[in-house]
Amino acid sequence: MQVYCATKVFEKYWAKSLTEEVRENNIDVLTMFPFYVSTQMTNSLTGFGVASAKSYVSSALKALGNTSEASGTFIHELEAGLVGFFLNIMWYSKRLLQMSETACKCHTDKMNALAKVKKQ
């Protein structure tokens, strides 16, 4: 899974670099980050949040020239927004916890130092 994720990040930044290179030639680069699309590879998966290949291609063509990145259909964009939102919450929660632990450690160190001074 790590290699898969790494290739997706590489694709994103490679596409940004390519966009800058071809900008002066009026060439649009669109990077797609889909969620589930019903294809032969996914065994014609169906259900909520699964786009048909036809609707996915249609959405991609509509996005071309309007944005540099897209997730695809409306439901894919919604899913991407929710995933991003929850990942940010988890990241900020972790950072707040780390900051709180650091603050508590500093406070404890100061209290210990103060106690040593009082004993002397």
| pLDDT (tens digit per residue) in 77-104 | 787 778 778 877 777 777 777 777 776 7
Read off the pLDDT band of 109 (50, 70, 90). Answer: low
Quote the crossing angle between the two packed helices 53-63 and 74-119, to the nearest 10°.
70
State pLDDT tens for residues 16-38.
999 999 989 999 998 888 777 77
User: What is the per-residue pLDDT for 43?
Assistant: 73
**Alpha-carbon torsion angle 108, 112, 118, 120, nearest 10:** -170
pTM: 0.54
Write phi, then psi, for 32 (nearest 5 degrees).
-105, 135
